[in-house]
């Protein structure tokens, strides 16, 4: 792996992404939905058990990320490698750079996009908290940003692996939808099932109560445990992606 | 060269790192591919069979991107891109989106991107496939220029005429195996050195038998009362020996000419 190669791949993706209307459209939709959820939060305030510190805007944002985020990452990531394989441009790239640089460049670009979206949502949440006169939970915002980025990073790494394994966009999209469906099915099995550990939902949900504000009973250890688990999850899938691309013929 | 499915594209993919060998080693310029792939990639330029460019990007944008992937700075990449696009005749099309390019233009762009950062070896997978005669001529011209500039060309093709015109050294692949390799001139002599046409005024069966008894003669064919074709299998010039034998047998030779085999004949002979 060569860092300058990763940088060039990432920069080019960013350049192309910034010109892609789909990135702006879906990123915009994501942020807009979060904005709507916060704006009309008073209509469903009864859903939140505790309302001691006013409307939990950060929690609402986090719930939006937890529920819509996986679909958004799927739309953005499913064709990140398969489109290059389908058109054949991957041959030009891989004849010049290491395969690991290619994958890391793509991953970091997607992570950057979704980290930026998370930042945007965090900012909206902050504005609402400020304008609503709520108790200011800066730690919650920071936790929201880190946790959302890692949570979405888990899905990016999953869909990146699927995209590497697919020969074209149709296969990649179908496999991504099926895999996401399986993950949702696993988490719906309940707390008793061991299948929940395979899904990023489980690690993401763990941080929900912290979004209302610190201190909480469970403490910082749970937060660290959850964030570290998501980080490991990303590492595992990224390693699988690297192995997969090294073994693939183009 | 080789038939469809002989393993030409696979060889090229292995050389350029797009496929991983299941066994064996690959050396490029004395470097082993699996351990020094980074260095090898710097000295190689690949022109794959199918031109896979982004339709929405311009030729110059592609070139700058690929140049940077080859380790050039943005400025260097831009400078080289302009020169190379001019060299392949796309100087006036550099700001045009590749989606509007013809197949020939895409092939030329493919060659231009492979020439970024001055590679030592240019690998081309059937570069003139699907091109019209004008396009073929343009590509050949570009390839000759590259070769004149000191770049080694490694190309696969099933177009024998093209190989005969561009290449100096040929390998014949069949079912994944290299069955013959040599210079173009020598490969024509691998299975048979050619056909010798002899004109003899008093051609007799005795002369025919004597010629057929020579160890390098594969067969003889009478074309007319005085003309005979002798199929020989030898790397040496056998005409003096044939001439001597005919004269010693009382024959009067008025014509003795060797018709060298075309690459196509040699190719089919090797496959047989």
Task: Answer for the pair B267, B192: CB distance below 8 angstroms, yes or no.
Answer: no
A243 — pLDDT class (breaks 50, 70, 90): very high
Domain hosting residue B12, numbered range: 8-187
Does residue B123 share a domain with residue B23? yes
Best-predicted range by mean pLDDT (A17-26, A66-75, B161-170, B219-228)? A66-75
Is B119 in CB contact (< 8 Å) with chain A? Answer: no
Task: Answer for the pair A117, A34: CB distance below 8 angstroms, yes or no.
Answer: no
Pairing of strands B121-125, B44-47: parallel
B100 — pLDDT class (breaks 50, 70, 90): very high
Give the residue on A whose Cα is nearest the Cα of B49: A88
Taking CA atoms, B235 is separated from A160, A247, B75, B192, in Å, by 58, 45, 54, 8
Among A47-56, A220-229, B50-59, B115-124, whose mean pLDDT is lowest? A47-56
Which CATH number characterizes residue B110's domain?
3.40.50.300
Residues from chain B contacting residue A88 (CB–CB below 8 Å): 48, 50-52
Contacts of A25 (CB under 8 A, 6+ apart): none
% of chain B with per-residue pLDDT over 90: 26
**Which candidate in B68, B98, B101 is best for mutational testing of the A interface (most A CBs within 10 A)?**
B68
Edge-to-edge strands, sheet with B194-200: B217-222, B227-232, B194-200, B253-259
**Which candidate in A1, A21, A95 is best for mutational testing of the B interface (most B CBs within 10 A)?**
A95
B154 pLDDT more than 80: yes
On whether ipTM exceeds 0.90, the answer is no
Verify whether the Cβ–Cβ distance B68 to A246 is below 8 Å.
no
A216 vs chain B: nearest CA distance in angstroms? 49
Does residue B47 share a domain with residue B115? yes
pTM of the prediction?
0.79
% of chain B with per-residue pLDDT over 70: 92
Does residue B156 share a domain with residue B71? yes
Q: Which of B162, B187, B212 is the last residue of a domain?
A: B187
Bridge partner list, B173: B2, B178
Is A79 in CB contact (< 8 Å) with chain B? Answer: no
Which CATH number characterizes residue B228's domain?
3.30.70.100
B249 pLDDT more than 90: no
Which of A89, A246, A249 is nearest residue B52 as measured by Cβ atoms?
A89
Give the residue on B whose Cα is nearest the Cα of A92: B46
B165 pLDDT more than 60: yes
**pLDDT at position A238:** 95
Does residue B100 share a domain with residue B21? yes
Does residue B267 share a domain with residue B181? no
**pLDDT at position A50:** 54
Is A87 in CB contact (< 8 Å) with chain B? Answer: yes
Domain count, chain B: 2
Is B3 inside any structural domain? Answer: no
Give the residue on B whose Cα is nearest the Cα of A248: B19
B190 pLDDT more than 60: no
Verify whether the Cβ–Cβ distance B18 to A89 is below 8 Å.
no
* Mean of pLDDT values over B8-12: 91
CA atoms within 13 A on the CB side of B216: 18
Does residue B78 share a domain with residue B172? yes
Does residue B134 share a domain with residue B27? yes
Is B19 in CB contact (< 8 Å) with chain A? Answer: yes
Is B35 inside any structural domain? Answer: yes
Is B202 inside any structural domain? Answer: yes
The sign of the dihedral angle between the CA atoms of B251, B253, B259, B260 is positive
**Which candidate in B15, B35, B52, B154 is best for mutational testing of the A interface (most A CBs within 10 A)?**
B52
Does residue B156 share a domain with residue B253? no
Torsion of the alpha carbons at A37, A127, A46 and A59, rounded to the nearest 10:
80
Does residue B219 share a domain with residue B177? no
Which of B38, B46, B48 is nearest residue A2 as measured by Cβ atoms?
B38
* Mean of pLDDT values over A226-235: 94
Does residue B203 share a domain with residue B161? no
Does residue B62 share a domain with residue B137? yes
Q: Where are the alpha helices (DSSP H) in chain A?
A: 3-19, 21-39, 57-77, 82-87, 89-94, 99-131, 138-165, 169-187, 200-205, 220-247
Average pLDDT in chain A: 85
B3-35: b (≥16 Cβ within 10 Å) or e? eeebbbbbbbbbbbbbbeeeeeebebeeeebee
Q: Take residue B82 and report the two structure tokens written for it.
A: 């302009």
| A92-131 confidence digits (pLDDT tens) | 999 889 899 999 999 999 999 899 988 988 888 888 777 7
Task: Answer for the pair A207, A147: CB distance below 8 angstroms, yes or no.
Answer: yes
Q: Which of B187, B218, B242 is the last residue of a domain?
A: B187
Is B2 inside any structural domain? Answer: no
């Amino acid at each position: 792996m060569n860092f300058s190669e990763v940088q060039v791949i990432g920069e080019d993706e960013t350049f192309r992404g910034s010109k892609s209307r789909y990135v702006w459209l879906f990123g915009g939709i994501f942020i807009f939905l979060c904005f709507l959820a916060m704006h009309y939060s008073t209509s469903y305030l009864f859903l939140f058990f505790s309302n001691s510190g006013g409307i939990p805007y950060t929690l609402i944002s986090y719930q939006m990320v937890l529920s819509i985020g996986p679909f958004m990452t799927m739309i953005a990531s499913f064709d990140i490698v398969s489109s290059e394989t389908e058109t054949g441009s991957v041959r030009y790239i891989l004849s010049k750079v290491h395969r690991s640089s290619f994958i890391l460049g793509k991953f970091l670009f997607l992570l950057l996009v979704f980290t930026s979206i998370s930042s945007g949502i965090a900012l909206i949440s902050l504005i609402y908290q400020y304008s609503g006169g709520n108790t200011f939970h800066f730690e919650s915002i920071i936790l929201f940003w880190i946790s959302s980025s890692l949570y979405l990073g888990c899905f990016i790494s999953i869909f990146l692996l699927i995209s590497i394994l697919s020969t074209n966009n149709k296969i990649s999209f179908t496999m991504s939808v099926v895999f996401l469906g399986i993950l949702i099915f696993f988490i719906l099995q309940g707390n008793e099932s061991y299948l929940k550990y395979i899904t990023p939902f489980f690690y993401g949900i763990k941080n929900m109560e912290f979004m209302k504000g610190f201190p909480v009973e469970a403490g910082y250890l749970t937060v660290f445990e959850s964030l570290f688990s998501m980080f490991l999850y990303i590492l595992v899938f990224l390693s699988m992606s690297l192995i997969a691309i090294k073994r693939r013929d183009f | 060269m080789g038939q469809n499915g002989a393993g030409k594209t696979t060889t090229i993919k292995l050389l350029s790192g797009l496929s991983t060998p299941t066994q064996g080693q690959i050396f490029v310029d004395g470097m082993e591919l699996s351990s020094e792939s980074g260095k090898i990639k710097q000295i190689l330029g690949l022109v794959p069979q199918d031109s896979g460019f982004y339709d929405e990007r311009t030729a110059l944008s592609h070139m700058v991107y690929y140049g940077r992937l080859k380790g050039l700075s943005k400025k260097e990449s831009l400078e080289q891109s302009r020169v190379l696009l001019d060299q392949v005749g796309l100087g006036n099309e550099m700001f045009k989106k590749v989606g509007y390019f013809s197949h020939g233009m895409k092939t030329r762009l493919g060659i231009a991107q492979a020439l970024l950062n001055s590679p030592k070896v240019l690998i081309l997978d059937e570069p003139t496939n699907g091109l019209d005669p004008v396009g073929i001529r343009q590509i050949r011209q570009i390839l000759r220029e590259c070769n004149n500039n000191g770049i080694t060309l490694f190309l696969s093709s099933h177009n024998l005429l093209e190989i005969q015109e561009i290449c100096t050294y040929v390998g014949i692949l069949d079912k994944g195996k290299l069955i013959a390799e040599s210079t173009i001139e020598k490969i024509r002599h691998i299975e048979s050195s050619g056909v010798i046409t002899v004109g003899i005024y008093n051609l007799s069966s005795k002369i025919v038998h004597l010629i057929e008894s020579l160890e390098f003669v594969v067969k003889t064919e009478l074309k007319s009362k005085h003309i005979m074709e002798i199929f020989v299998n030898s790397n040496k010039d056998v005409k003096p020996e044939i001439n001597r034998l005919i004269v010693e047998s009382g024959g009067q030779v008025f014509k003795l000419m060797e018709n060298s085999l075309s690459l196509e004949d040699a190719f089919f002979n090797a496959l047989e």
